[in-house]
Amino acid sequence: MENAYHYDKEKVEALLWDVIQQQSTDNGLAWLQQRTANWKTTAAVQQFNLTFTAIPRFLSKNEITVSPETATALRHLIDGYTIHGYTLDRLARVWWLLQLPADDRKTYTQTIENLFDAAEMNELVALYGALPLLAWPEAWRLRTAEGIRSNIGIVLQAIMTDNPYPARYLEEPAWNQLVMKAFFTEKPIHQISGLDKRANQPLAATLTDYAHERWAAGRPVHPQLWRLVAPFINDNNWPDIQRIWQSENSIEKEAAALACAMSPYEPAHTLLHQDKALQQEIKDGTLTWDALAPRC
């Protein structure tokens, strides 16, 4: 049989449980254990759903702390996965999702889809954040694309940032929507997992059009946008790079320099040579897209 989980589920589950155990009250923990026992004996989906929705009533919404060891272990088990910044109830919901038997793909996906359909904001955040952990990963592509259509900021952020699922599983058009929408909704672009790896020509062209629209409207353009254009600099978009290079805004000029450094386009290298200081900073690794991010 095909594997339902594409990672070591037992180990991830155990790590998450440790965090929950350490940071819950005795009452909260007792409740969750009682619900788990009940679920294991009844296997009634109604009970599963009930626990999923009830979790915040019994477990706090306080932000959890994650030890560096746990963080590293999780990142190794699922490349790029993190629970940093999670609240306890969100983490418990993710853990609870791992209690759903995944051997029957149809029943499993239907149960999770039903949770999505009836979810409120915080449940959506938990569900979309759990995408990298859900069984049958290929089954969530459409759901993820649907999530990107949401207009709820925290829901979008749960999909877009620190979430390795989209980069790994989304088709190119849906991936491009995610990146574009992240710019539109002003999400922290540098926190999109797999951002550079999935840069592509159509996305670069679209983002360039978007930059033109922003300029026409007299609005600023996010400097990280050029990060996605950089590998595809050509005769058409070269005037745009020159424009930001000449910008009075130093962040824009730095973005132009970074874009030039990333680009195989010859005139870009010639331009970069004109500013030895910036060129050196890039060489030294002191000027990177991530280093630029907090100032964008």
Partner 1 sequence: MTEKDLQPLSYSPAYLDKIKGMRFFDPHVHMTSRTTDDYQAMADAGIVAIIEPSFWLGQPRTGVDTFRDYFSSLIGWERFRSSQFGIKHYCTIGLNSKEANNERLAEAVMEMLPLFIYKEGVVGIGEIGFDDQTAAEEKYYRAQLELAKEAGLPVQIHTPHRDKKKGTQRSMDIAIEHGLDPHMVIVDHNNEETVKEVLDRGFWAAFTIYPFTKMGNERMVAVVKQYGSERIMVNSAADWGISDPLAVPKTAALMHESGIDTNDIHLVTYRNAITAFAQSGQINEADFDTVRDIDQSLKFNGSTVLRGGQQPRVNKNSTIIR
**CB within 8 A of 217, min separation 6: which ones?**
none
Q: Which of 29, 119 has the CB closer to partner 1?
A: 119
Q: Per DSSP, what are the bridge partners of residue 192?
A: 161
For 48, which DSSP code? Answer: H
Give the residues lining the site for partner 1 (CB under 8 A). Answer: 117, 142, 145-146, 148-151, 173-174, 177, 180-181, 184, 206, 209-210, 212-213, 216-218
Q: Which of 54, 205 has the CB closer to partner 1?
A: 205
Please measure the distance between the N-terminal and C-terminal CA atoms of the chain and give it in whole angstroms. 48
Q: How far is the CB of 276 from partner 1 (least distance, A)?
A: 37
Q: Which of 119, 291 has the CB closer to partner 1?
A: 119
Q: Which of 20, 182 has the CB closer to partner 1?
A: 182
Q: How far is the CB of 178 from partner 1 (least distance, A)?
A: 10
In this structure, how many other beta carbons lie within 10 angstroms of the beta carbon of residue 104? 11
Q: Which of 81, 183 has the CB closer to partner 1?
A: 183
Q: How far is the CB of 91 from partner 1 (least distance, A)?
A: 25
Q: How far is the CB of 117 from partner 1 (least distance, A)?
A: 5
For residue 54, what are the CA distances in angstroms to 49, 120, 201, 291? 9, 12, 45, 41
> Looking up tokens 């595809």, which residue turns up?
232
Q: How far is the CB of 210 from partner 1 (least distance, A)?
A: 7
Q: How far is the CB of 181 from partner 1 (least distance, A)?
A: 6
Q: How far is the CB of 213 from partner 1 (least distance, A)?
A: 5
Q: Which of 31, 140 has the CB closer to partner 1?
A: 140
CA–CA distance, 58 with 89 (Å, rounded to integer)? 8
Q: Which of 183, 245 has the CB closer to partner 1?
A: 183
For residue 273, what are the CA distances in angstroms to 130, 246, 261, 266? 45, 14, 10, 11
Chain centroid offset of residue 287 CA: 23
Q: How far is the CB of 149 from partner 1 (least distance, A)?
A: 5
CA–CA distance, 296 with 278 (Å, rounded to integer)? 17
CA–CA distance, 197 with 271 (Å, rounded to integer)? 25
The continuous run of DSSP H or E covering 253 comes out as helix 250-262
Angle at which helices 88-97 and 45-58 cross, to 10° = 160
Q: Which of 5, 210 has the CB closer to partner 1?
A: 210
Residue 89 in contact with residue 97, Cβ under 8 Å? no
